[in-house]
Structure formats: structure tokens, C-alpha cells
């Protein structure tokens, strides 16, 4: 059975992530023996670290600053929500008070 290059290209991400079955790995490795250009690309891809494997240095000050910003955003959201709720609840009372004043007191 002949497998096209496009099928191999579709399977490469799974192969490179190490999630391919043994049969799929064998199929891809067999194909790579006949396609030296693609084999070279796979070799280079294996050398390049994946983004999830790159260690990002964590600075305590940076982490604390991020935490403070997040807390500030949460507080602003709560205050804004409270203000909107207050406006929604108070506006009908004010409108009612004005209508009562205009209808009965005048």
C-alpha cells in the first residue's frame, strides 16, 4: 500500500508530539527513509524545543505585580457591577418619587 506525502504530513504533528501509535510511527519512519527532504525537516523539528518545554524564568516581583493587577481588575469589576446595580435599583424609585410629586403635591 502506497501512502501519499500529504497523509504523512497530516500525521507528522502527532508523530512529533510522541502521541502516535507504534504502527503510525513505523509507517512514518518507513516513509522518511524514502523521502530525505522530509526526514531532514523532521530531524530539525525534533531539535527545536516546543513552546511548552521552554522554561520561563519566574521573578517573584513580576508575579506579585501580576497578582496585584489581577486583584485590581477584580475590584474594579465588582465596583462597576455594584454601581450599575445601584443605578438600576434607584432609578425606578426616583422616577416614582418625581411622578408622585408632580401628580399629588402640585
CA angle 79-82-88, nearest 5°?
145
Per-residue confidence band for 90, with pLDDT thresholds at 50, 70 and 90: very high
The pLDDT confidence band at residue 46, using thresholds 50, 70 and 90, is confident
Q: Spell out the domain ranges in the chain.
A: 5-52, 57-105
The helix (H) or strand (E) run that includes residue 38 is helix 36-47
Tell me: pLDDT of 87 over 90. yes
Higher pLDDT, 14 or 74: 74
pTM: 0.46
Mean pLDDT score across all residues of the chain: 88
Rg value, the chain, Cα: 32
For residue 24, which of 11, 40, 37, 10 has the smallest C-alpha distance? 11
Amino acid at each position: 500500500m502506497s501512502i501519499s506525502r500529504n497523509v504523512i504530513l497530516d500525521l507528522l504533528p502527532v508523530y512529533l508530539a510522541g502521541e502516535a501509535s507504534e504502527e503510525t510511527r513505523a509507517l512514518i519512519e518507513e516513509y522518511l527513509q524514502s523521502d530525505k527532504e522530509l526526514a531532514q525537516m523532521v530531524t530539525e523539528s525534533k531539535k527545536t524545543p516546543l513552546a511548552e518545554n521552554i522554561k520561563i524564568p519566574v521573578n517573584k516581583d513580576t508575579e506579585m505585580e501580576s497578582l496585584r493587577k489581577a486583584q485590581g481588575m477584580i475590584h474594579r469589576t465588582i465596583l462597576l457591577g455594584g454601581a450599575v446595580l445601584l443605578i438600576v435599583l434607584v432609578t425606578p424609585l426616583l422616577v416614582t418619587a418625581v411622578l408622585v410629586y408632580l401628580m399629588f403635591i402640585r
